[in-house]
Chain A
């Protein structure tokens, strides 16, 4: 435990990763996540760790492949266009069962887009932007404190189930400052047991191999099915979400990241107007809390998904609800920030006027 400190989201994320045992970082600059590599460039050497500014995002993710293969807690960070460049490497890391942390401080897209905060990378993060059957453990913080404390959970999960982990946050969370309290005890990686698969100096032990391919007949299938067992265990044990004011709710908002903060304000405003609104906030985006949504749809008959993208997370909400309740959408793409006032108006439209089933806000 430590006293509260005013920190920027990106810096809190970097410090949180170091405290969770990160000792290798490779990255390439891009707004709005530049404070992550900047912070790591002086902080990691203090701990005996290594910071590398790579010549490209592709290079950085492949350095991470190498570092992760030795069992080192490692990290790379970027923003949307840069994370697209890392997708091939991420697929290779997933195929080689490598635990690592990647953060995406999402900006407006597609293409070069803009540098404002956005949520348009939901599909890429949760469906896999690279090729092949693989999964990434994805966490979505909604405060600077969560930016600071989620790297711990990401490393724990990534090492336990041997898969890449991702922190998906928007540019607003990266750039804003808030009081931070680091909740987890600091981890010195020297005290961690070397994983039984890690490569390095093999004196006195049998040879180990890290790789994502097997050309022998039927062997790739076997390798993938063994990996899927770990995915299933992860899905059964590691789902996280938060519920606010849902006990008596007639309408449930579903939102993550900055959209969840705006939605909290909208829920409060709607309650002042006599509408019983509540908020469901998924914290893990994969695995997604679909089963809990299904339960809630037993008694709440209206859901409103709020996202700073054209309607991506709404897919997962629909899969969870599976037709048992109405699913509405308040979507705002292109790095524009949703205001609480406009979400409150949408809530009123749905509850009082029985309005639009599916809407993109102009």
Chain B
């Protein structure tokens, strides 16, 4: 089992946090994992992306150049990462913010209105968790329970009710499945 993931969006959307959380969840489920952030001159409102690998074998390169799954949370990320997805791979699109449609026919595409669902839950910040929930449900690389268990390990200062809200967002995301 090997799953290379790219997550991309605006700085502040929780791209890096989501990547670290995925790696922690994979590690908790006894997988080999790596996480690698882009660390250019990013700032709030700029773009951010990261690579995560979850594998049953030793992970060689931590930089995912042809992802099995790309999660794009904003418009510019679609143009950048759609061409990189492996043929037959999965593209998860935050349809609340991304208006364009991907051109490729050789990949699977899942639209998830991450911001809208986060808004319904009462906190826009959990939109990244909605995307991770959809990722877990559609790839099986990690489980929603695994990500939920990893939450307090990565976000040590979060209050229990905020952890609970993040867990809810994961579950709502997991309701979105490919046809």
Interface residue A95 (Cβ < 8 Å from any Cβ of B): no
Chain A, range 168-210, C-beta contacts under 8 Å to B: 171-172, 175-179
Render B8-39 as a binary contact track against A, CB cut-off 8 A, 1 for contact. 00000000000010011001000011111101
A360 within 8 A of B: no
List chain B residues, Cβ under 8 A from A340: 60-61
Given A115-B39, A176-B35, A179-B33, are A6 and B62 also a contact pair (CB < 8 Å)? no
Task: Indicate if A31 sits at the interface (CB-CB under 8 A).
Answer: yes
Interface size on A, residues (CB 8 A): 22
B123 at interface, CB cutoff 8 A: no
Binds B, one of A127-135, A153-161, A260-268, A351-359: A260-268
B40 interface hit (Cβ, 8 Å): yes
Determine the distance from Cα of A279 to Cα of B60 in the docked complex, in whole angstroms: 13
A175 and B36 contacting across the interface, CB-CB below 8 Å: yes
Contact status B33-A172, CB under 8 Å: no
Chain A residues with CB below 8 A from B61, complex form:
258, 261-262, 265, 337, 339-340
Min CB distance B14 to A, Å, is: 16
Closest residue on chain B to residue A173 by CB atoms: B62
Q: Are B39 and A178 in contact (CB under 8 A)?
A: no
Q: Considering the complex, which residues of chain B in the window 50-66 have a beta carbon less than 8 Å from any beta carbon of chain A?
A: 58-63, 65
Inter-chain contacts of A31 with B (CB < 8 A): 39
Interchain CA distance A4-B32 in the complex, whole Å: 11
Smallest Cβ distance from A148 to chain B, in angstroms? 15
Partner of B27, one of A6, A32, A265: A6
Q: How far is the CA of A337 from the CA of B64 in the complex (A)?
A: 11
Beta-carbon nearest neighbor of A269 in chain B: B60
Q: A6-B20, A340-B61 are in contact. Are A178 and B40 (CB under 8 A)?
A: no
A 259-291 to B, binary, CB cutoff 8 A, 1 in contact else 0 = 001101100100000000000000000000000
CA distance A172 to B60 in the complex (A): 13
A6-B20, A6-B33, A179-B33 given as contacts; is B27 within 8 A of A172 (CB)? no
Minimal Cβ-Cβ distance residue in B for A341: B65
Determine the distance from Cα of A265 to Cα of B32 in the docked complex, in whole angstroms.
15
Residues of B within 8 A of A172 (CB): 36, 62-63
CB pair A261–B62 under 8 Å, yes or no, is yes
User: Residues of B contacting A337 with CB < 8 Å?
Assistant: 61, 63
Interface centre among A6, A176, A264 (most CB of B within 10 A): A6
Asked if A262 contacts B60 (CB within 8 A), the reply is yes
CB A335 to nearest CB in B, in angstroms, measures: 11
Kindly list chain B residues whose C-beta atoms are within 8 Å of the C-beta of A339: 61, 65
**Nearest A residue to B154 by beta-carbon distance?**
A6
Bound: A177/B39 CA distance, A: 13
> Which residues of the other chain, A, contact B20 by a CB distance below 8 angstroms?
6, 177
Chain B residues with Cβ under 8 A from A262's Cβ? Answer: 60-61
- Whether the pair B60, A261 counts as a contact (CB closer than 8 A) is yes
- Contact between chains at A6 and B23 (CB < 8 Å): yes
CA distance A337 to B36 in the complex (A): 13
A176 to B27, CA, bound (A): 15
Q: Is the CB of A177 within 8 A of B40?
A: no
Find out whether the CB atom of A178 lies under 8 angstroms from the CB atom of B60: no
Give chain B residues whose Cβ lies under 8 Å from the Cβ of A176: 34-36, 62
Q: 3 smallest A-B Cβ distances: which pairs?
A: A265-B60, A177-B35, A176-B36
Q: Which residues of B contact A (CB under 8 A)?
A: 20, 23-24, 27, 32-37, 39-41, 58-63, 65
A selection of 16 A-B contacts at a CB cut-off of 8 Å is A4-B27, A6-B27, A172-B36, A176-B36, A176-B62, A178-B33, A178-B59, A178-B62, A179-B27, A261-B60, A261-B62, A262-B60, A262-B61, A265-B60, A265-B61, A337-B63
* Given A115-B39, A339-B65, 7 new contacts (CB under 8 A): A31-B39, A115-B41, A176-B36, A178-B33, A179-B27, A179-B32, A261-B62
